[in-house]
Amino acid sequence: MRKLATRTGRLVGTVILAAASAAAVPLTTIQDVLYKAYGTKFNGLPIISWNSFEANDVSNIVPQNLTVKVVDGNFRVQLVPTADSNPPTFYSVKYNSDGKIQFQETWVVGTASTPLRIRDVRPRPLRAVHWSPPARLRSRKAT
C-alpha cells in the first residue's frame, strides 16, 4: 500500500512538472510587408534585441537578440508582449540591408490574438502642446 502511495505521488508530481513546462509564454505575432522609400520590397536582416524583463504572466525573459530574415518584403516574428512588462521595456530593432544598418526603431508589443503590423508596435509620438499666454497677458505692454 505504501509503494502505491509513493508511486502515485511521483506520478502526480511528474504530471504537474510536465504541465508547467508545457505552458508556453504568450506570444504576439508581428507580420507585415516592408518596402524601401523608392518602392521596392525590403530584403535584409532586422536584428531585434531586448533587455531582461518580467512578462505579463510573470515569466522571466532574459536579454537576447533575434535576427529575422526578410525576403521580398515578407516579415513575420513572434515576440513576448512588452506593453505591460516589469520593468517597462521595449524591443530595439535595427534594419540591416546591403551590409549595413539602414535605420533603427523601438517597438512596444501589446497582447493580441491576431497578427499586428509594424505600425501597431511603434510607440506613438507625444504630441507637442503649444501654449500661448491668455489674451489679457498678451495685450499688456511693459511699463
CA dihedral 39, 41, 44, 49 (to 10 degrees): 80
The closest alpha carbon to 96, from 65, 117, 64, 51, belongs to 65
Looking at residue 18, what is its pLDDT?
44
70 conformational bin, left if phi > 0, alpha if psi -120 to 50, beta if neither? beta
Q: Which long-range contacts (CB under 8 A, 24 or more apart) does 53-62 make?
A: 53/82, 53/85, 53/86, 53/87, 53/89, 54/85, 54/86, 54/87, 55/25, 55/26, 55/80, 55/81, 55/85, 56/26, 56/81, 56/84, 56/85, 56/111, 57/25, 57/26, 59/25, 61/25, 61/85
**Domain residue spans of the chain:** 25-121
Quick one: pLDDT at residue 68? 97
> What pLDDT shows up at residue 17?
44
Task: Print pLDDT tens along the chain (143 aa).
Answer: 555 555 555 544 444 444 444 568 999 999 999 999 899 999 999 999 999 999 999 999 999 999 999 999 999 999 999 999 989 899 999 999 989 999 999 999 999 999 999 999 999 876 666 666 666 555 555 55
User: What's the confidence (pLDDT) of residue 19?
Assistant: 44
d(CA 108, CA 85): 10
CATH tag, 25-121: 2.60.40
